[in-house]
Structure 1
Amino acid sequence: MKLGLHYWTFANPADPAAIGPTLARTATLAEEAGVASFTVMDHYFQMESTAPAQDPMLEAYTTLGYLAALTRRMTLGVLVTGVMYRYPGLLAKIVSSLDVLSGGRARLGIGASWYEREQRGLGVPVVPMAERFERLEETLRICRQMWSDDNGPFAGQHYQLAETLNSPQPLSRPHPPIMIGGSGEKKTLRLVARYADACNLFGSGPEDVAHKLDVLRRHCADEDRDYDEITKTVLVMRPPLVDVDAWVAEVEAYAKLGVTEVQTMPARDSDPVEFTRQLADQVLPRLTALP
């Protein structure tokens, strides 16, 4: 079982000048401890459901570029990119650049986007949910085309590209892994079956995750896709350090379902460096025995 660290808050320490050094220490410590992936959110305002919108928030891909220079092994990605926040051709170019500069460690995590306050606040177009999913599917097609030998045009309902030239190509082969985040049974998991290398599900409990994976399996059958080709990952919502035994037991249940990576995250008021040290001491050794 692989462990990912999801760095979702920049509120601690409070001094903006300390954000960069703290992020650097956390990421390097995580890598030394054996954390497999490091992710950040794609938000411009903090999520109101978890913390004040005014909390510090960094742009995701700038942050990952900074981390690419500080790390050597961990996969770097966004959990997950909002489809409305960047033109698809530019998104493919951004992820390609991250992959080249990190030595082939980028992962494209993407979803339909939802946080309308930050979109309206910063002038990002807000469109109906059905259109967001249409745009998500076109974005996936554009990224896959740009990461191929096909430099030709792309003509979609929402996006038209005169040419999909992308040089240099990513170092990852055949392309940076595509992870679709979300648990929607009719649209999101169908897109996973059709386009993705990995899915990311909310860790709402083993029973719910088992159900979502059954839905994904049915979509794979409909799409003539090998279910086992798709990497299954889960963002575990349970705090890992409050009750380590309970956290490990939940992760073990996910492992039995075929999940091979889980992500965890610090609390808003915790010291991310100390949180990572405790992960290294108390949690990571317990995962080594899991598949």
Structure 2
Amino acid sequence: MKFGLDIAQQRVSFAEVIDRARFAEDLGFTGVWGFDHFVAMYGEPPGEAFEGMTTLAALATATSRIRLGLMVAGVTYRHPSLFAHQVNTIDHASNGRLEVGLGNGWYEKEHTQLGFDFLTTGKRFDLLEDQLEILTRLSTGEKVSYDGKRVSLQDAQMYPPTVQRPHPPIWIGGAGPQRTMPLVARYADYWHAQPEPMKQRLDLLKELCEKEGRDISTIKRVTSLSLDPDPDTITRKIDEHRANGIDYLYCGWPGEGRPAIERFVEKVMSR
């Protein structure tokens, strides 16, 4: 079982973002996760919200062991080729510690405020599919031509290739049977969903993986874990997740902050 920590990257200074990532690394978490929004999502008045990919670039040089990612990068915010180059740069800056979480974007108000096109759900899924295909192909370092649904490439090349081969691990969240699950089967190294929808979709995922020529066991399963309850309650929940085949727990930053995280590491995670 692996544990990642969401550092709650909003309404805190950039120095605190760095400190939280180093804190997670020192405590032995596998990964540290930020978010991909341009405004603080909750509360009043406006608060700090730092851009996700450049934050990961900074964390790449501020840490040395912990893996880094966003949960998740929205495909509507960056052209797929630009995103692929950002991924490659951070993968090299971190010496191969980047995780790539991708989603189709959802916060319409933010798009409207900042002038990002907020496409229909179907078109956002088309763009997500293009992004996944473009990222995986460009990561090879070879020339790529691709006729996409929203974005196409002509003799494009990204060099050098990514440190991690064939590309940094890809994380996809959700359990929608029509668009999400086929993308999970084709591209995902990690699948993030809530336990019940995940159980409901396992047979479908197995079928889709067989069509893609993949073994379902190559896709690691991820779900969220609250660190707010007492250690015994958290331990029981972890045992339940383990019994259901969960490989990785994405831990939310608790209301109590650092003391609750330290208590979790000492009494639960270290075991």
The two structures share one fold, judged by TM-score above 0.5: yes
Letter in 1 for 2:216: Y
Partners of 2:11 and 2:75 lie apart in 1 by: 25
Q: In the alignment, what sits opposite 1:286?
A: 268
Specify whether residues 207 and 160 from structure 1 end up closer, same or farther in structure 2 by C-alpha distance, changes over 3 A only.
Answer: closer
RMSD (CA atoms): 2.0
Specify whether residues 46 and 217 from structure 1 end up closer, same or farther in structure 2 by C-alpha distance, changes over 3 A only.
Answer: farther
Specify whether residues 285 and 163 from structure 1 end up closer, same or farther in structure 2 by C-alpha distance, changes over 3 A only.
Answer: farther
The answer to whether the aligner puts 1:87 opposite 2:74 as a matched pair is no
Offset of residue 245 of structure 1: 2.0
The answer to whether the aligner puts 1:182 opposite 2:174 as a matched pair is yes
Partners of 1:92 and 1:150 lie apart in 2 by: 13
Specify whether residues 243 and 167 from structure 1 end up closer, same or farther in structure 2 by C-alpha distance, changes over 3 A only.
Answer: same
Partners of 1:131 and 1:227 lie apart in 2 by: 28
Specify whether residues 173 and 245 from structure 1 end up closer, same or farther in structure 2 by C-alpha distance, changes over 3 A only.
Answer: same
Partners of 1:217 and 1:252 lie apart in 2 by: 24
Q: In the alignment, what sits opposite 2:206?
A: 217
Specify whether residues 46 and 183 from structure 1 end up closer, same or farther in structure 2 by C-alpha distance, changes over 3 A only.
Answer: farther
What TM-score comes out, normalization by structure 1 length?
Answer: 0.86
Structure 2 unpaired stretches of 5+: none
Query: Within 5 Å, which residues of 2 pair with 1:1-291?
Result: 1-12=1-12, 19-47=13-41, 50-52=42-44, 54-202=46-194, 206-236=195-225, 239-267=226-254, 270=256, 275-283=257-265, 285-289=267-271
Partners of 1:53 and 1:110 lie apart in 2 by: 29
SS, match of residue 90 in structure 1:
helix
SS, match of residue 232 in structure 1:
strand
Partners of 1:84 and 1:218 lie apart in 2 by: 30
Question: Among the aligned pairs, what percent are the same residue?
Answer: 31
Offset of residue 74 of structure 1: 1.0
Structure 1 unpaired stretches of 5+: 13-18
Q: In the alignment, what sits opposite 1:16?
A: none
CA contact (8 A) 2:40 2:49 kept: yes
Specify whether residues 117 and 53 from structure 1 end up closer, same or farther in structure 2 by C-alpha distance, changes over 3 A only.
Answer: farther
Letter in 2 for 1:173: R
Moved beyond 4 Å, runs of 4+: none
Over residues 102-129 of structure 1, what are the superposed CA-to-partner deviations in whole Å (9 max), with x where a residue is unaligned? 0100111101111101011111111110
Partners of 2:132 and 2:218 lie apart in 1 by: 17
What TM-score comes out, normalization by structure 2 length?
Answer: 0.92
Letter in 2 for 1:193: A
Partners of 1:104 and 1:38 lie apart in 2 by: 14
Specify whether residues 127 and 284 from structure 1 end up closer, same or farther in structure 2 by C-alpha distance, changes over 3 A only.
Answer: farther
**Aligned length in residues:** 271
Over residues 27-53 of structure 1, what are the superposed CA-to-partner deviations in whole Å (9 max), with x where a residue is unaligned? 112111101101111111233xx4348
Over residues 152-204 of structure 1, what are the superposed CA-to-partner deviations in whole Å (9 max), with x where a residue is unaligned? 322212112223211222111221111112222321121010111111114xx
Offset of residue 225 of structure 1: 1.9
Offset of residue 9 of structure 1: 3.8
Partners of 1:53 and 1:231 lie apart in 2 by: 39
Partners of 2:88 and 2:266 lie apart in 1 by: 30
CA contact (8 A) 2:140 2:162 kept: no
RCO higher in structure (CA 8 A, sep ≥6): 1
Partners of 1:39 and 1:173 lie apart in 2 by: 21
Offset of residue 11 of structure 1: 1.9
Offset of residue 73 of structure 1: 1.0
CA contact (8 A) 2:231 2:268 kept: no
Specify whether residues 53 and 147 from structure 1 end up closer, same or farther in structure 2 by C-alpha distance, changes over 3 A only.
Answer: farther
Offset of residue 277 of structure 1: 4.6
Partners of 1:45 and 1:235 lie apart in 2 by: 23
